[in-house]
Amino acid sequence: MTTCRPLVVYGVGAIGGVIAARLRLAGFGVTAVARGEHLDAIRLRGLTLVTQAGTDAVALPAAAGAAEVDWSIGPVVILAVKSHQTASALDDLSAHAPPETPVFVAQNGVANEVAALRRFANVYGVTVMLPAAHLDPGVVIQQSHPVAGILDLGRYPSGHDEPAEQVSAALRESGFDSLVRDDVMAWKHRKLIANLGNGVIAAYRPGPDADELVARARTEAEHVLTSAGIPFVTAEQDALRRGDLLQGRVNDDYLSSTWQSVARGHTQVETDWFNGEIVLQARLHGLHAPVNALIQRVTAEHARVGRPVRSLDAAAALRKLGSESHPRQPRSTQPASV
């Protein structure tokens, strides 16, 4: 068994829950940080992990926050909350965890690493390719089997070291595929491009028009990132890495993480850190990103007012966008200096 420091999985929803459960089943020391009914259920009956192979009730020490974690044993943190919860999670962690604590950012989006680096000296990016779901308290669903997911990681902003190697090895022993990468953020930016469709999946009825909206958002993002000089791996590299590792689903009705948030009635979603990241980079470099701006705005409103999932007409969105399928420079703004 790999020698690995104890692990604190901060946020055990769909992604963090599957990671925590699989690490614990493999024999690693894990503490889960959860809240509300989910925390109560884990404390009462363990964290239930549902896979294609069956169901496991995984006994996990569970904490309501960082104050209840034993930091004297020098644990590693796997941060797995949604991006809009990162600020409060880092507030909590920095109040109790030593500043040298390694923090592995197992979150979608690319803004969480830099936020963590403001508080902690040792930060690692994790590219999350892990089909999972969490809709009921105390229960997480691992959709892919037998490989639970792909969790490539590396030191932020680049490089690798012994903690990265140890955590990657522990993940491999726990049923994940994991490589240590010096350029992990280039891979996370490709995952960001993939996540730009999450808001469409949550808000718009499926069909060719919704597919077109997603395709425009991704094309626009590649143009913006290229213009900004931000490296990202190609779609072909991503497809080659995924291969046929992520197989099957326990339930085909459980879709993207944003869909799950809207389905559970959450009023906040992550699109500010997905589509909003592309909008931000466009504005920083004197460009417009109208497709991603529309998806960002519409999905946030969809969640805020509590509309049903997949209830909007994507054809109306395409009509509103017209021919604006590529970012362009604002008429009155010169490209920003970099």
How crowded is residue 123: how many other Cβ atoms within 10 Å of its Cβ?
Answer: 23
Task: Give the pLDDT band (50/70/90) at residue 265.
Answer: confident
Q: How far apart are the first and last CA of the chain?
A: 47
- Axis-axis angle for helices 290-305, 314-321 (nearest 10): 140
The structure tokens listed for 262 are 């809207």
Cβ neighbours for 74, distance < 8 A, ≥ 6 positions apart: 5, 6, 98, 101
How crowded is residue 288: how many other Cβ atoms within 10 Å of its Cβ?
Answer: 20
Report the distance separating Cα 87 and Cα 83, nearest Å: 8
Q: Answer whether residue 334 shows pLDDT above 50.
A: no
Strand order in the sheet with 123-129: 62-63, 30-33, 7-10, 76-79, 103-105, 123-129, 150-155
Query: Residue 247: its pLDDT value, please?
Result: 84
Q: Answer whether residue 268 shows pLDDT above 90.
A: no
Cβ neighbours for 221, distance < 8 A, ≥ 6 positions apart: 192, 193, 196, 278, 289, 292
Task: Give the pLDDT band (50/70/90) at residue 338.
Answer: very low
Q: Answer whether residue 36 shows pLDDT above 60.
A: yes
**Residue 125, helix vs strand vs coil:** strand
How does pLDDT run across 58-70, given as a tens digit for each residue? 999 999 999 999 9
pLDDT, the chain, mean: 92
How does pLDDT run across 153-207, given as a tens digit for each residue? 999 999 999 999 999 999 999 999 999 999 999 999 999 999 999 999 999 999 9
How does pLDDT run across 69-114, given as a tens digit for each residue? 999 999 999 999 999 999 999 999 999 999 999 999 999 999 999 9
Q: Which of 148, 156, 74, 146 is nearest to 110 (CA)?
A: 156
